[in-house]
A and B are shown apart, each in its own frame.
Chain A
Amino acid sequence: MATLLDVQNLSISFRTYRGILAATHDVTLHVDAGETVGIVGESGCGKSVTAHAVMRLLPAATTIYSSGTITWDGEAIQGYTEKEMNHLRGREMAMVFQDPMTALNPVLSIGSQIREGLTLHQHLSRSDADQEAAALLREVGITSPERRLHQYPHELSGGMRQRCLIAMALACSPRLLFADEPTTALDVTTEAQVLQLLRSLQAERQMAVVLISHNLGVIAQMCRRVYVMYAGCVVEEGPVEAIFDEPAHPYTQGLLASLPDPAHKDKILTGIAGQAPDLFHMPTGCRFYPRCRQAMQICKRQVPPYYTTGTGHRAACWLLCPEREECAWH
């Protein structure tokens, strides 16, 4: 399938009062048309920043695109003007945000917020846009959509609002949907419904979905391929089954080991010792080595390259280096 989005070596930094903060480092990822890709990692690892950077939603005044390229459908879009980006945003790519409580404008009706994209990108008349908006709300499973159009966000529940946000994002049939932790703010039953909805919409509309989550279970259910991020870097990537069955990077192994297992309730949960590095004081070499139980001398000195594992996925870890034994790095 054709590559829709191709991000190469993207490094993003922010200007802050404490100095330059490196949010992501050399992130390389791609999304093919119609596939669902997951990005997983703990808070602050750069998953949202990467998605926001692609859609250029980061605050322009303080964001530095230090290196890398973003290619959309074969065209480099970094040089795009704000106007050209507005042409892409909403129409070609859209985003569903984390917190449905704050992501809707409280003073505008649901209808006017959904219509906005339709009149903007598809130049529909008010009444056509109204009909289309009602159809979208029905598609995301909202009952009596005509009535909802006149309601305001505070009159709806969290799950309903997230459905409205999904309807809004889908309005102009984007080819790529970023779902930035779309269920983090919802309760578990609503979460299941929203995920089910996303999955069926993805299948019906044949659109690509990038699902950002810290929840491995959600990623496993939804995605075909996954990128594991740690401290601004992609540490492991590949097909979901391969990564879940045979994680190659110690960080991924740690993540999977820390999942509770309903079959062994008396098992003590193991976490990953230590905490994610301060983005102002990034360790040299591999960013995970201070927490890694299998760390070697070289991990401290040199950034590991990507190695392809036996199951066909890639991980950035010196443990995978074929010459590891001979060089006696321990």
Chain B
Amino acid sequence: MFLYLIKRIAGVVVVLWAVITITFLLMHAIPGGPFTAEKKLPPAVLANVEERYHLNDPLLTQYGDYLEHAAVLDLGPSFKYPGQTVNDIIAESMPVSAQLGLISFCLALSVGVTAGVLAAWRKNSCLDYSLMLVATLGVSVPSFIIAAILIQLFAFTWPVLPAAMWKGPAYAVLPALALAAHPTAFIMRLTRSSILDTLSQDYIKTARSRGVSTRSLLCHHALRNALLPVVSYLGPLAASLLTGSFIVESIFAIPGLGQHFVTSIYNRDYTVILGITIFYSFLIIFLNLLIDLIYPLLDPRISLKTERKG
């Protein structure tokens, strides 16, 4: 177990290095730079600014410098927001995105699994069909349309909730719903099909032959087996929800990380692009590791001991 963790953490370093390298190369491959604008800067000023940010160094030197700083978690200054470092930007906008993401995550997980179990329990009933209709809509309707409908309904037709901004708990409701719609629907469908699959297994019949009630069959015997695929989906889902969604954050004018990620690419704000990419990759890797640590708790057949191959 300990050895396993060490191996995995060593893997994280390698993956992050690869992510940095690929992003760095791609970023410099797109035409333009942080200071190309419609109104051209005087060459002397441009040279000065490039000197200031070491942009006139050979690419390899820039790359080396960046790695050096990244190793001590210094993600460098932003090119577009003078005086702010990338660390500042992440520290400032991450909590907002994370709060919103966490609410959506809990919502998606609890509602998705519950509805999936209900649909599987009442397979081919009215309840099942209506839940699956909602789920299909949730999977196929993009979040900006759901957001627009939510705003229209709850901010204009019945003005019960604020339409935008981020000033308190009430402001989180609509964006959280819009953000959670897709994962909820996805988890619902995944849970339903996984439970139905599990219910056709022999051991369910064995349990029935012992007189186990339907409720206990579903919750005790089937759910734990059926949750494995759902759990696999949770790692990437949590990472994407926690780092925020550009679309939902734009629509609701939320000062989150997702917005910065997209605007930084428009602005060729090299350090911000790299910094947020690294942060996002780290979250995905970390959450996947967490998920891998959860598996053995659900299924005793999965062991984390590193296999010794003869």
Return the chain A residue nearest B213 by Cβ: A86
Of B203, B209, B213, B301, the contact of A94 (CB 8 Å cutoff):
B209
Is there a chain A Cβ closer than 8 Å to B106's Cβ? no
Of B123, B211, B221, the contact of A89 (CB 8 Å cutoff):
B211
Is there a chain A Cβ closer than 8 Å to B5's Cβ? no
Is there a chain A Cβ closer than 8 Å to B298's Cβ? yes
Is there a chain B Cβ closer than 8 Å to A88's Cβ? yes
* Minimum C-beta distance from B217 to chain A (A): 10
Is there a chain A Cβ closer than 8 Å to B214's Cβ? yes
CA distance A244 to B68 in the complex (A): 87
Inter-subunit contact A89/B210 (CB<8 Å): yes
Q: Which of B201, B208, B225, B301 has the most CB of A within 10 A?
A: B208
State how many residues of chain A have any CB contact under 8 Å with chain B: 35
Inter-subunit contact A90/B202 (CB<8 Å): no
Is there a chain B Cβ closer than 8 Å to A67's Cβ? no
CA distance A205 to B218 in the complex (A): 33
Chain B residues touching A, range = 20 to 34
Return the chain A residue nearest B298 by Cβ: A107
Q: A61-B124, A154-B300 are in contact. Are A106 and B209 (CB under 8 A)?
A: no
* Minimum C-beta distance from A323 to chain B (A): 46
Is there a chain B Cβ closer than 8 Å to A275's Cβ? no
Is there a chain B Cβ closer than 8 Å to A3's Cβ? no
Of B201, B207, B209, B301, the contact of A55 (CB 8 Å cutoff):
B209
Find residues 145-172 in chain A having any chain B CB closer than 8 Å to their own CB.
Answer: 152, 154, 165, 168-169, 171
Which residues from A are CB-within-8-Å of B124? Answer: 61
User: Which candidate, A116-124, A129-137, A262-270, A284-292, is the interface stretch facing chain B?
Assistant: A116-124
Q: A107-B299, A152-B300 are in contact. Are A57 and B213 (CB under 8 A)?
A: no
Q: Beta-carbon contacts of A50-68 to B below 8 Å, as 1s and 0s?
A: 0000010100010000000
CA distance A87 to B212 in the complex (A): 9
Q: A102-B201, A103-B202 are in contact. Are A90 and B209 (CB under 8 A)?
A: yes
Find residues 182-216 in chain A having any chain B CB closer than 8 Å to their own CB.
Answer: none
Is there a chain A Cβ closer than 8 Å to B7's Cβ? no
Inter-subunit contact B211/A106 (CB<8 Å): no
Is there a chain A Cβ closer than 8 Å to B54's Cβ? no
CA distance A102 to B224 in the complex (A): 16
Return the chain A residue nearest B222 by Cβ: A105
Which residues from A are CB-within-8-Å of B157? Answer: none
Which residues from A are CB-within-8-Å of B221? Answer: 105, 108
Inter-subunit contact A90/B211 (CB<8 Å): yes
Q: Which of B124, B220, B300 has the most CB of A within 10 A?
A: B300
Which residues from A are CB-within-8-Å of B212? Answer: 86, 90, 116, 120
CA distance A104 to B203 in the complex (A): 5
Is there a chain B Cβ closer than 8 Å to A25's Cβ? no
Which residues from A are CB-within-8-Å of B211? Answer: 85-91, 117, 120-121
* Minimum C-beta distance from B188 to chain A (A): 21
Given contacts A89-B211, A90-B211, 15 further A-B contacts (CB under 8 A): A57-B205, A86-B211, A87-B211, A90-B210, A90-B212, A95-B209, A97-B206, A97-B209, A104-B206, A105-B203, A106-B225, A107-B301, A108-B221, A152-B300, A169-B209
**B-binding residues in A (CB < 8 A):** 55, 57, 61, 82-83, 85-91, 94-95, 97, 99, 102-109, 113, 116-117, 120-121, 152, 154, 165, 168-169, 171
20 contacts between A and B (CB under 8 A): A86-B211, A86-B212, A89-B208, A89-B211, A90-B209, A90-B210, A90-B212, A97-B209, A102-B201, A102-B202, A103-B202, A103-B206, A106-B225, A106-B299, A107-B298, A116-B210, A117-B211, A120-B210, A120-B211, A121-B211
**A-binding residues in B (CB < 8 A):** 123-124, 201-203, 205-214, 220-221, 224-225, 298-301
